[in-house]
Structures are given as C-alpha cells and as structure tokens.
Amino acid sequence: MCGIVGYVGTDQGATDVLLEGLSQLEYRGYDSAGVALADPSIEVHKKAGELSSLESALPESQLGDEPAGIGHTRWSTHGAPSDANAHPHTDELERVAVVHNGIIGNYQELRDELTTAGIEFDSETDTEVIPHLIGSFLEQGQTNAEAFRSAIDRVEGSYAIAAVFEGDETVYAARNESPLVLGLGENGYYLASDVPAFIEYTDRVIYLDDGEFARLTPDRVVVTDDTGDVVDTTIETIAWDSEETGKSGYDHYMLKEIHEQPTALRQCLRGRLEELSGGVSLENIDEMDWNPPIRLVACGTSYHAAAFAARLFRDWGVPAQAFLASEFTATEIPLSADSLVVGVTQSGETADTMRALREANRAGSTTLAVTNVVGSSAARTCDEVLYIRAGPEIGVAATKTFASQQVALMLLAAELSNHRSRELIRELRTVPDQVQAVLDNSRAKEIATEYRNADAYFFIGRKHHRPVALEGALKMKEITYKHAEGFAAGELKHGPLALVSEKTPVFAVVTGDGPIAEKTIGNVKEVEARDTPVIAVTDGVSDVGRYADHVLEVPPSTGITSAITANVQLQLVSYWVANELGRSIDKPRHLAKSVTVE
C-alpha cells in the first residue's frame, strides 16, 4: 500500500533519491505523494494525485544538495485524497516531519488529548498525531531521538514511521506490523517499505523487526530495540537487480510478468523434484511437527491459490481447509500445539494474513509461510518458510506469483501427504514449456476485442478449476473495472443463471474427458441454451468445443497442472480487455500491491 522512502548521505542530494524511490514504489498503489527535506530547516512539498504532480510543483532551483529526507506515496484510509491529507505531516513549528504507513489504533484518543492542549490539526489523517506528539516532547526538553521514541511509545496499532528534524542530518524510523527495510550504500543509507525503492543504489539490506528503531546518519546505521539496546543486525544481499523491475520493452509490467511465468516456474521447481522416487524435496518442511487438519490462510489471489492447495491436500489424503485470513480467528477455529497453519502471501506483509499467523503462533501452532519475499515479515514470523521464487512483481494484479504459488503449493501438498508419483514429477517438469506454448499461441487478444463491451463476465470451473474461475474473475475486476464473477460450475443453476444474457460471456474451464468434464459440459449447455456466448478453456480432449463460440486451448495433461495453463489464458483475456478499454493496467484505481492494513 503506502510507500516510504528515506535517504541520508554525501554522494547526492536527497530530492533525486526520494523521487526515484517513490517512482519505484508507484506499483503499490497511491493517491498522493510528498517529500520532506532537512536543509537545515524542514521543507515539505506534497500533492494529491500522481507523482508527476508533485514533481511539477517542486521548486527545482532551490533543491539539489539536501543531505537527508523522507518521501511518501499515500493510499487513503483516514481522510480523502487531498494536498492537506498527503504526507509528510509536521508539528506546528515545523521542527519535525513524519511519514507513516499503517493505522494508528488510538489516534482519536491522542488527537483529542493534543487538541485539548491547544494544538490545531491541518488534516483528517491519523498520521498527524505523530509529529504533534514529537513536538510536545521536544517542548519538554527532550532530544530529537528521545522525542521520537517517546512519541512512538504512545502510539498503538500497525505502523512504519520515518521522521526528519530541522538541523539534523538523520532519518529516524520505527516499525510495528508494517514493513521497513534499510539499504546500506557506499556513501549513503536508505530506508524504504520495499527494496525496489533503492535497489539501483545497493543490494545490501537489513530488515527491521517489530518493535525496532533505526537511526540513519551519513556515516552509519544504528538499530535498537524497544528498550534502547543496540540490536545485532543481519545484512542480507538481494538476489535481483534493478533491471528485473523494468518493463523490458513491454507496454505494461503486467504483460511482462505474464510472459515471465515460464522462467518463474522453473525457478520455483529448481532442485525440488526427485525424478527417481517420484517425490519432492523441500528443505526443513519434512521436519515440522504437525497433525491434520491443515489450515491455509490468505487473501485475494493468494486465497485462490490456498483453495487450490486445500483440494490437493484432500485429494491426497490430508484434511485441509482454506480460510480468508480476514475471517480467521483462533477462538472460532481451535488451534493447538500440533496444528499447522500455512500463510500464503506474495509480499509476506499482508496485514490480515500476518494477524492470522500471529494468532496461530500465540496458540502454539506450527506456522509455515508460503511467500515470494526473502526477509519479509511472514518469513521471519513463521517457524518455516517456503519461497515461491517468482522474482519481483511490480504490477498490482498478481500473475506470475499466482502461478508460482500454485506450483509451490503442489510441491508442499506432495511433501506433506507423502504423495509420490513419477507422472506428477514429469508433468511439473513440463509445465514451464506448456505455459510458454499458451503464451505463443493464445487467441485471447482476438476474444478480448470481440467481448470488450460485455455487460459482465462469468467464469466457471469444477474441483481444481474452481479456484481458477475465481481468479479469472478477480483479474477481470481488478484491471478492467467491469463486473465479473467466478462460480463453481454446478452453482450456476442455483441462482447466477438468472444473470446470463447475450451480453455476458461465460468462460468455462474444461479439461480431460472424465465425469468432472462431463458435468461441466452440462453446465455449458445450460448457458448455451440461453443464447449466452461461451468461451471454452480446454485441452481438446472432451467435446466441449462443440458447444462453445470460441476455444482457448491449453496443452493436454493427465492431471492438475491444467489449472496453471488455463489460468494463463484467463490472465491474457483480462489484460487484453483492459488494454482495449484503455485502463490503468499496472496501477488499477483504489487498489494496492501490498495490503498492509486490516
């Protein structure tokens, strides 16, 4: 969601670093942007709208040599998008400027207290209480560092906070349940909510943990705990560079990332398949202590991957259930020391999923993170972690990370159920090439052109294809802003069939020719009888093509991997419909890449 950038150093002015960092965080979703510079007084510049609006408003002749600064892209929670509500915020005397991600749970109590003390607020945000709190402690004679820490001690909720003070070449920061990462450069130090903000400057990072504080000066970084004691930090090296976060000639990040799926899947599978035994090898996973049932918790696209995995577990003899993380509570779903809770989260920072995992930890359960981001909160919170290895994903709508989650969770299900099948291993080996074949031969663009003006889009599938139908509908909603729904195919006749018409194309995922395919074909016939266009996503084994207006082909397979290739076709349809409609594909309105508030 909101993006934070901070910099202090000697090799360049802070303004350029902050603006470049904010541009690299635009994918997270935002509605305003701003910077605060310590030079030596506090200078704040902020604007509602896109980053370009802020850049146009900056007095370039007055900027260039600032030694320290912070920047922010805001995704509104408290107060509408406006110049006043944009970050950074300052105290009344403009001695300190603050940016903040997350939600201050006790902000109204603090605001009332500060208002009673005579302080006037300029915004509707919860964030503004922080600089005013800091200012009140400065008035009591505390140092900058002391006032910052004292203010944070008063704050409740989730937060990543950064601050700069007048006359102080230092960036102060703290986190609790919202990500912050430090970058260690040769002649400067960086702070951000995500690595892409500074990856072009350094690949050496320190991830802050909950309750930790950081102080960045031109010559060093100091991390302390909530008691003020210095923390022995671990420096990690990021395994990708700035080129991986570019568009590489594609019109949109989303299209680039759809086409990166064969590579992402090969990375996910590398070193994890055992050809001779027909099993898989996941480091440390087989050593976990747990008993069924397995609970998977996730949100959005990750929830669809979790639902796909839950069915696999059940098919292979292990009771499992997928829960929306926002609905998951340990009091309603009893957990014990031998329970296993699997959190599926691309970013490793999703607030609802992190809350569910923390509840599971408090209950004494074993927790496992399935995530894309090394060093993320989920990776550090859980007992074990399974990385999906998809590489950086910039587009807000998840594509390659969903496919990688599907494959990683297949491996997990095989490992934990002790499911051994040379046939499955062979299929997994061929999946990257099958996805490439879909990308090379898809007719999705042609179909998108024909149906771009549809009133709504419906997606149906059974068993392993039901989560694919749900994900197909979600992608269509996210980037086209058109109404779309995904259903278990058999549920159409229990209500949704009332909605179909000649202006509501139905995408039906049908592979193989067994009983499941036959039943889904029956649902296709129900739709066809009502003059509704049908697009079959099929491997051609069944005769579903006879009843469809169009066919999107996927390579034949003998098992569950068709759920991956079918999804790629649906991703392409959504992309091309959005492109035809001129939508903001990489940054859909109102949405954020990493949802760090509940």
pLDDT (tens digit per residue) in 416-425? 999 988 889 9
> Is residue 503 annotated as a catalytic residue, yes or no?
no
Q: Are 70 and 18 in contact (CB under 8 A)?
A: yes
pLDDT higher than 60, residue 359: yes
Chain segment 51-94, per-residue pLDDT in tens? 888 888 888 756 667 889 999 988 777 667 788 888 899 999 99
- The predicted structure's pLDDT at residue 547: 92
- The predicted structure's pLDDT at residue 341: 96
Q: Are 554 and 548 in contact (CB under 8 A)?
A: no
In 30-133, where do the E strands start and end? 32-38, 42-48, 68-74, 89-90, 96-104
In 139-257, where do the E strands start and end? 157-165, 171-176, 181-184, 188-192, 204-207, 213-217, 220-224, 236-237
> Is residue 268 annotated as a catalytic residue, yes or no?
no
Query: Read out DSSP for 327-390?
Result: G--TTTS---TT-EEEEEESSS--HHHHHHHHHHHHTT-EEEEEES-TT-HHHHHSSEEEE---
Question: Residues 353-377: what's their mean pLDDT?
Answer: 92
Q: Tell which residue, 468, 510, 461, has the closest CA to residue 488.
A: 461
pLDDT higher than 80, residue 443: yes
Chain segment 489-548, per-residue pLDDT in tens? 999 889 888 888 889 999 999 999 889 999 999 999 988 888 899 999 999 999 999 999
Q: How confident is the model at residue 241 (pLDDT cuts 50, 70, 90)?
A: low
Lowest mean pLDDT among 332-336, 497-501, 569-573: 332-336
Residues 6+ apart with CB under 8 A from 145: 172, 215
- The predicted structure's pLDDT at residue 178: 84
Chain segment 169-221, per-residue pLDDT in tens? 999 999 988 889 999 988 889 999 888 889 889 989 999 988 999 999 998 99
In order of their start, the domains of the chain are 3-243 (3.60.20.10), 246-439 (3.40.50.10490), 442-598 (3.40.50.10490)
What share of the chain has pLDDT > 70, as a percent?
96
Q: Which helix (H) or strand (E) holds 409?
A: helix 400-417
Q: How confident is the model at residue 591 (pLDDT cuts 50, 70, 90)?
A: confident
Residues 6+ apart with CB under 8 A from 102: 157, 158, 159, 160, 176, 177, 178, 596, 597
